[in-house]
Amino acid sequence: MNTTARELWTGRILLIVVMAVTIVPFVSLFITALHPPGTYPPGLALPEEFHWNNFLLAFDAANMGALLQSSFIIELGVVPIAILIATLAGFALGHLNVPFKRTLFIIFVLGLTLPFEGIIVPLYYQMRDYGLLNTQLAIILPLIGLFMPFAVMWMRAHFVNMPQELSEAARMDGASTWQLFWRVHVPLSRPAIASLAILLFLWTWNQFLLAIVLVDDPEKRTMAGALGAFQGQWGTDIPLLCAGSLLILTPTLIVFLVFQRQFVAALLQGAVKG
In the region spanning residues 40 to 79, those forming contacts with another protein, defined by CB under 8 A, are: 40-44
How many Å apart are CA 271 and CA 79, to the nearest integer? Answer: 20
Interface size with another protein, residues (CB under 8 A): 99
Torsional class of 81: left (φ above 0), alpha (ψ -120 to 50), beta (otherwise): alpha
Closer to another protein by Cβ: residue 53 or 179: 179
Q: Is the dihedral of CA 58, 62, 66, 70 positive or negative?
A: negative
Determine contact, residues 53/175, Cβ cutoff 8 Å: no
Contacts of another protein in 127-186 (CB under 8 A): 141-142, 144-146, 148-149, 151-152, 160, 177-178, 181
C-alpha closest to that of 31 among 48, 17, 18: 48
Closer to another protein by Cβ: residue 14 or 76: 14
Per CB under 8 A, which region of 1-9, 52-60, 66-74, 164-172 contacts another protein? 1-9
Contacts of 27 (CB under 8 A, 6+ apart): 44
Write down the least CB distance from residue 226 to another protein, Å: 9
Contacts of another protein in 2-31 (CB under 8 A): 3, 7-8, 11-12, 14-16, 18-19, 21-26, 28-29
How many Å apart are CA 239 and CA 30, to the nearest integer? Answer: 9
DSSP 95-120: HS--TTHHHHHHHHHHGGG--GGGTH
How many Å apart are CA 271 and CA 274, to the nearest integer? Answer: 5
Per CB under 8 A, which region of 59-67, 103-111, 167-175, 187-195 contacts another protein? 103-111
Mask for 182-221, x = binds another protein (CB under 8 A): --------------------x--xx-xx--xx--------
Ramachandran angles phi, psi of 96, nearest 5°: -105, 165
Which position among 64, 79, 92, 170 is part of the footprint of another protein (CB under 8 A)?
A: 92
The residue length of the chain stands at 274
Per CB under 8 A, which region of 53-61, 63-71, 118-126, 184-192 contacts another protein? 118-126
Closer to another protein by Cβ: residue 66 or 265: 265
Is 121 a binding residue for another protein by CB under 8 A? The answer is: yes
Q: How far is CA 155 from the centre of its chain?
A: 17
Per CB under 8 A, which region of 51-59, 67-75, 189-197, 243-251 contacts another protein? 243-251
